[in-house]
Amino acid sequence: MAIEDKLSESKQKLRETINLPECEKSSFVMECEKQIMEKIVEYVEEKNQLVEQLESLRVLEREEDSEITKIFSGKIFNFDRETDMLNKFEIYQDII
């Protein structure tokens, strides 16, 4: 089950227990309410960690894209030189 689903389900359970009148709540119900709130906090923290990891991956991806752009920009700039280098190896084309 996904974190969002677990979080939603836990919030629903918490609403159900919170809506009970205080005089009808047993110590068991109050303990369950406390445990549900603790689970909600765990799920929110887990979700936050995943969001942070995702953002880190996005930053890395942007950096990689930037590096690739720099590389290609440099290759386009040096295209004539590289074409000359490739022409030198035409005699080996049947091997490659």
Q: For the whole model, what pTM was predicted?
A: 0.61
pLDDT in tens, 58-80: 999 999 988 888 777 765 545 55
Residue 38 has pLDDT above 60, yes or no: yes
- Cα–Cα distance between 17 and 29 in angstroms, integer? 7
What percent of the chain is predicted at pLDDT more than 90?
A: 47
| Per-residue pLDDT at 94 | 56
- Cα–Cα distance between 7 and 36 in angstroms, integer? 10
What contacts 11, CB < 8 A, 6 or more positions away? 40
Q: Within 19-94, where are the H helices?
A: 27-77, 79-88
Mean pLDDT to the nearest integer, 30-46: 95
Mean pLDDT to the nearest integer, 42-50: 95
Q: Where are the domains of the chain?
A: 49-89
